Structure 1
Amino acid sequence: MSSSMNVAKVKPLSFSRRLVPSAVSRGLSSSVTVSGYSGRSSAYAPSLRSIKCVSVSPEASIVSDTKKLADASKSTNLVPIFRCIFSDRLTPVLAYRCLVKEDDREAPSFLFESVEPGSQMSSVGRYSVVGAQPAMEIVAKEDKVIVMDHKSGSLTEEYVEDPMEIPRKISESWNPDPQLVQDLPDAFCGGWVGFFSYDTVRYVEKRKLPFSKAPEDDRNLPDMHLGLYDDVVVFDHVEKKAYVIHWIRLDATVPYETAYSNGLQHLENLVSKLHDIAPPKLAAGNVNLQTRQFGPALENSNVTREEYKEAVVNAKEHILAGDIFQIVLSQRFERRTFADPFEVYRALRVVNPSPYMGYLQARGCILVASSPEILTKVKQNKIVNRPLAGTSRRGKTEVEDKRLEKELLENEKQGAEHIMLVDLGRNDVGKVAKYGSVKVEKLMNIERYSHVMHISSTVTGELQDDLSCWDTLRAALPVGTVSGAPKVKAMELIDELEPTRRGPYSGGFGGVSFTGDMDIALSLRTIVFPTASQYNTMYSYKDANKRREWVAYLQAGAGVVADSDPEDEHRECQNKAAGLARAIDLAESAFVKK
């Protein structure tokens, strides 16, 4: 597409250029190279070798491992090295703060944690992952793409038909062999990390869901932001150790011995940031879960109560006319807080632990998430789709808990909605899976979390040989639990009935690894903190700590079917958002109101 097309319709991206490489001041390149990595020839496309640092002595490591590196350099140009360290004096939260300073809230970085669901109770997930200082970033707004290569100090801008093709093509240049990375933990160990907004579906459904028909874009957040992380720290909570991982880039112009030596030095510097320097101070906070059961009334919404109820009535008319079977209508609440987003994340870990806990600093916004649901997952070519629909509170006693489980499973309305979403999941997986491989491995199981229980099913399939995880993502966007059925028609109606673009809400966040695996969570139970200058309310000089007042967006939706009551659906949105706001209450109580 010509770089002159549609220039007028795309507003400048809402993020600071403070961290953009210095080359920006010298002008912009006219195109983005996607055939190789970081502008290099595809002859040096990244692939993988794992070389374990078996010795404390850098000299001994070089002697013992450069022979392996020499073999690897003949066919690969991206090599992971790592150090294992004790994690008994280091937590994921502290590690993140060691790598990203408290006042550096625009630096792309992430902290991912998890709680594993169970039939009786949940437990802490085995791995947590921390990453900072990506080697490359891709930021997309509609059809405009900015690529920042921090290694070379270059920045390029381009208008393209499908921005998702750029990270995909870079990823396809990798040629890993899983056997060569067997020393690494069974977790995300490096690659792309970021978010895909709900509106990225418009890259897939260009004719029926064009950006020109999208609702008002009142926040101007990116539609996609990805960082390529060469450095990550993976915590193994079972073995009580942490893997500090660095990926070495091999270049034809640099001898592999030099690349390896430089890589070891970089790795040691990374370890020293975690262990050898004075750790940053983290406020202990005062955990008072009785602050409020829910947050204050969320009356500041992008729609009024009557407008939302009218939208529900309109949606029911389409259901009765046979246009759709179900639709998810959301509304976006706004709240101001002096609690820092990272403090809110620390509180959210206590208030609502979930399978996909995430703190993600991206261009234009910070996401604080506690998602219970997968958008899409691909591991060693196995596709996983896990519809989660049907919710009940937990009982105060085991007897009450069992009674509520029975009532939830026997609720005809909840059951019908869940089966409908399982069918949608089977359809999404079937688009990219080998014929006959799609299975419903689990149907209508109960998963219990600290405060609620959900009905969950698991749909799997084997990825077609000529497709990649990126095809799986395109097929899944967005899942039926946040759109409706049939999906495309429901999304067309969402464009008509919701007044503003959803942005990150109901899109996805997560990672695509160097090994080709993908794990993207659905952006539900996610607080969005914009970081652009127009959202900086400066500091309140009435506040003793001169804290910044943040704008927090909490969006929630309700599934509308033929017999839905508009008032009930509005209340469901409020209750979901208020439950999320409880984390802000706790953060304010623990860290602000002292």
Structure 2
Amino acid sequence: MSQQKIQITKIDLPYSTSHELFRHVEAQAWSILLDTSNNRLSDGRYDIIVHSPTFTYEFWATTGSGKSKVTTYNEHHSLPNVSTQTCPYTALSILQKAFDAKVIKDISDENETLSNLPFKLGAMGLFGYDVNTATDKIRDNSPTQYALPDIAVGFYEQSLIFDNYTGNIYHCSAVSNTDAWLAPFFRRLPKTPTSFQLMSSWSSNMSEKSYCAKLAEIDNYLRAGDCYQINFAQRFNASYYGSEWEAYRLLSSKNKAPFSAFIRLENAAVLSVSPERFLKVKNRHVETKPIKGTRKRDDDPNVDQALASELQASEKDRAENLMIVDLLRNDLSKHCKPFSVQVPSLFSLESYPAVHHLVTTVIGELKEEASPFELLKGAFPGGSITGAPKVRAMQIIQALEPDKRSIYCGSIGYVGIHGDMDTNICIRTVLAETATDGSKQMYCWAGGGIVLDSKADAEYQETFDKVARILPVFEQTLGNHTSKKSANKDSFS
């Protein structure tokens, strides 16, 4: 394929939200929506929609190694050979260079609004937490527990970008004929969307007694000096019926999270309403915003404010946050210029529908020779959801948690054609999978950082606070065949 220049065109479509647009392609495998929910905590101006990738890269981590697959959907797009044993981040860097070589990236003749649009074209997808079993040599006792690949990234030559501030829709493309790609957005859809329904109540992989026993083991590790913080999570699952997209829309309406995303693959969908940014790169400037420290929201404004003030004043939560900030400063320094890593904002309060969080901002400048994928490799998975020291914390997590994390605590995002990157950390995230027999299961995780002065009952309750706008929201859809009950800790004891 000869080189093509990026064309950015404002198009007229009768839709007032990115959700209305995405509904036209949500059923297609490899369709992705990156959704800011118009949340100003993330400068939530632009939502991004892609479908029909030019080629895809999938990676499955296995004990001591890994396997990968590259699928090409465009016969005119030749690709370099990538060994199935190549480090996945190296493989993605190689594929990205091949993709970039087909595109003329100069858009200097465009106006400022168009040149500042995020992504435009490039790589977009997901990185599951369990990639660490290949890259960090973490033991993997169940390599085939989920259908979702550990990495699934598509390379896209076209996108739609929805401007939440103006309602404008921009089509970005590096192909000459765009009619087929745009056609789905012009077709008429049924007025009534496919419904979603939970078919069973949520079940946890741990009782409260079992959870507290695990925390006692973590306390032993902490006192022995293995770690000074370990992130520990429980997993919930339920059967469901119907549309994963409608389930996402329901979640989105209740959460309005700034780093939300929906990804459709062949046998799985990921529904993320994450409040946490992992890594952002813009003009070689790097930013990460770890969350550590949580309090539930309250309907009484006075109580709610008291909870927020308590969080901001908590020595324990500030200490936990600072531990992870130090870890992330070290992670960023692997691929950032010397002395460029700084902390411009420490312990800021950010409030979401379900919880208050303490959020810190860490910045740096990417080295000239480093790629965004190398930066991702050096910091993945995010320190805010592992503990510290990171590798030992991950080993203990793998030993104590009954099930693998899959997409939970992984990352969703993009690496664009101009070297820009934005990724989330997949907390407040649901994995929906369809088995070969047609049965459907949803999985959702919640956890927290455990330190020496953690109280087991408070940590257990915090896991439910974090999914207070997920589990109960879905349980409201339960059919008459089973009793409805609130998804709180008493339901799982």
DSSP-derived class of the 1:98 partner: coil
For residue 193 of structure 2, the aligned residue among 259, 283, 286 is: 283
1:586 to partner: Cα distance:
5.1
For residue 196 of structure 1, the aligned residue among 112, 121, 127 is: 127
Structure 2 CA distance for aligned equivalents of residues 433 and 178 of structure 1 = 27
> Residue 96 of structure 1 aligns with which residue?
22
**2:252 matched to 1:349?**
yes
Give the direction of change, closer, same or farther, for the CA distance of 1:322–1:201 in structure 2 (3 Å limit): same
CA contact (8 A) 1:138 1:226 kept: yes
CA contact (8 A) 2:276 2:424 kept: yes
> Residue 243 of structure 1 aligns with which residue?
170
**Given the two structures, how large is their TM-score scaled by the length of structure 2?**
0.86
> Residue 65 of structure 1 aligns with which residue?
none
Query: Once the two structures are superposed, what CA deviation does each residue of 1:325-370 show, in whole Å capped at 9, x if it has no partner?
Result: 0101112111112242111111011111111111101244210010
**2:259 matched to 1:359?**
no
Amino acid at match of 1:147: V
DSSP-derived class of the 1:159 partner: coil
Give the direction of change, closer, same or farther, for the CA distance of 1:358–1:418 in structure 2 (3 Å limit): same
Amino acid at match of 1:222: P
1:108 to partner: Cα distance:
1.2
**2:428 matched to 1:525?**
yes
Structure 1 CA distance for aligned equivalents of residues 292 and 409 of structure 2 = 14
Amino acid at match of 1:229: Y
Query: Once the two structures are superposed, what CA deviation does each residue of 1:511-568 show, in whole Å capped at 9, x if it has no partner?
Result: 111111111110110000113415x22xxxxxxxxxxxx3110111122111223333
For residue 227 of structure 1, the aligned residue among 154, 163, 172 is: 154
Amino acid at match of 1:281: K
Amino acid at match of 1:246: S
Structure 2 CA distance for aligned equivalents of residues 418 and 123 of structure 1 = 20
Give the direction of change, closer, same or farther, for the CA distance of 1:133–1:587 in structure 2 (3 Å limit): farther
**2:112 matched to 1:187?**
no
Structure 2 CA distance for aligned equivalents of residues 303 and 391 of structure 1 = 22
CA contact (8 A) 1:97 1:280 kept: no
CA contact (8 A) 2:262 2:269 kept: yes
> Residue 126 of structure 1 aligns with which residue?
45
For residue 91 of structure 2, the aligned residue among 162, 166, 173 is: 166
> Residue 32 of structure 1 aligns with which residue?
none
1:232 to partner: Cα distance:
1.2
Amino acid at match of 2:88: P
**2:347 matched to 1:460?**
no
Give the direction of change, closer, same or farther, for the CA distance of 1:415–1:528 in structure 2 (3 Å limit): same
**2:459 matched to 1:569?**
yes
Query: Once the two structures are superposed, what CA deviation does each residue of 1:34-82 show, in whole Å capped at 9, x if it has no partner?
Result: xxxxxxxxxx8xxxxxxxxxxxxxxxxxxxxxxxxxxxx7xxx242223
Q: CA RMSD in A?
A: 2.9
> Residue 400 of structure 2 aligns with which residue?
497
1:117 to partner: Cα distance:
5.5
> Residue 306 of structure 1 aligns with which residue?
209
> Residue 60 of structure 2 aligns with which residue?
141
For residue 267 of structure 1, the aligned residue among 145, 161, 178 is: 178
Amino acid at match of 2:455: D
> Residue 142 of structure 2 aligns with which residue?
216
Structure 2 CA distance for aligned equivalents of residues 586 and 247 of structure 1 = 44
1:587 to partner: Cα distance:
5.6
Larger radius of gyration: 1
For residue 318 of structure 1, the aligned residue among 212, 216, 221 is: 221
Structure 1 CA distance for aligned equivalents of residues 42 and 228 of structure 2 = 36
**2:347 matched to 1:444?**
yes
> Residue 7 of structure 1 aligns with which residue?
none
Moved more, 308-317 or 390-399: 390-399
DSSP-derived class of the 1:99 partner: coil
**Given the two structures, how large is their TM-score scaled by the length of structure 1?**
0.72
**2:16 matched to 1:108?**
no
Give the direction of change, closer, same or farther, for the CA distance of 1:162–1:512 in structure 2 (3 Å limit): same
Amino acid at match of 2:351: R
> Residue 448 of structure 2 aligns with which residue?
558
CA contact (8 A) 1:336 1:552 kept: yes
1:177 to partner: Cα distance:
4.9
* Counterpart mapping for 1:345-424 below 5 A: 345-396=248-299, 398-424=301-327
CA contact (8 A) 2:194 2:243 kept: no
Moved more, 128-137 or 87-96: 87-96
DSSP-derived class of the 2:174 partner: strand
Aligned length: 466
1:395 to partner: Cα distance:
4.6
Structure 1 CA distance for aligned equivalents of residues 94 and 15 of structure 2 = 40
1:377 to partner: Cα distance:
1.5
Give the direction of change, closer, same or farther, for the CA distance of 1:181–1:462 in structure 2 (3 Å limit): farther
Structure 1 CA distance for aligned equivalents of residues 394 and 354 of structure 2 = 31
DSSP-derived class of the 1:440 partner: strand
1:585 to partner: Cα distance:
3.5
CA contact (8 A) 2:233 2:447 kept: yes
CA contact (8 A) 2:6 2:107 kept: no
Give the direction of change, closer, same or farther, for the CA distance of 1:346–1:314 in structure 2 (3 Å limit): same
1:482 to partner: Cα distance:
1.0
CA contact (8 A) 1:88 1:240 kept: no
Structure 2 CA distance for aligned equivalents of residues 393 and 574 of structure 1 = 9
Moved more, 560-569 or 227-236: 560-569
Structure 1 CA distance for aligned equivalents of residues 107 and 307 of structure 2 = 44
CA contact (8 A) 2:108 2:115 kept: no
Give the direction of change, closer, same or farther, for the CA distance of 1:93–1:326 in structure 2 (3 Å limit): same
CA contact (8 A) 2:297 2:355 kept: yes
1:132 to partner: Cα distance:
0.9
> Residue 428 of structure 1 aligns with which residue?
331
Structure 1 CA distance for aligned equivalents of residues 154 and 447 of structure 2 = 29
1:270 to partner: Cα distance:
3.8
Structure 1's unaligned 5+ residue stretches are 1-43, 45-72, 249-262, 538-549, 590-594
Moved more, 78-87 or 367-376: 78-87
1:573 to partner: Cα distance:
2.7
Give the direction of change, closer, same or farther, for the CA distance of 1:371–1:342 in structure 2 (3 Å limit): same
Amino acid at match of 1:188: F
Amino acid at match of 2:185: L
1:414 to partner: Cα distance:
1.2
**2:8 matched to 1:82?**
yes
CA contact (8 A) 2:200 2:239 kept: no
* Counterpart mapping for 1:42-81 below 5 A: 77-81=3-7
Give the direction of change, closer, same or farther, for the CA distance of 1:434–1:390 in structure 2 (3 Å limit): same
1:169 to partner: Cα distance:
1.0
Query: Once the two structures are superposed, what CA deviation does each residue of 1:182-233 show, in whole Å capped at 9, x if it has no partner?
Result: 6345222221111111122344324xx2xxx223232253111111111211
Structure 2 CA distance for aligned equivalents of residues 527 and 356 of structure 1 = 14
For residue 473 of structure 2, the aligned residue among 563, 567, 583 is: 583
Amino acid at match of 1:504: I
Structure 2 CA distance for aligned equivalents of residues 483 and 178 of structure 1 = 40
DSSP-derived class of the 1:164 partner: helix
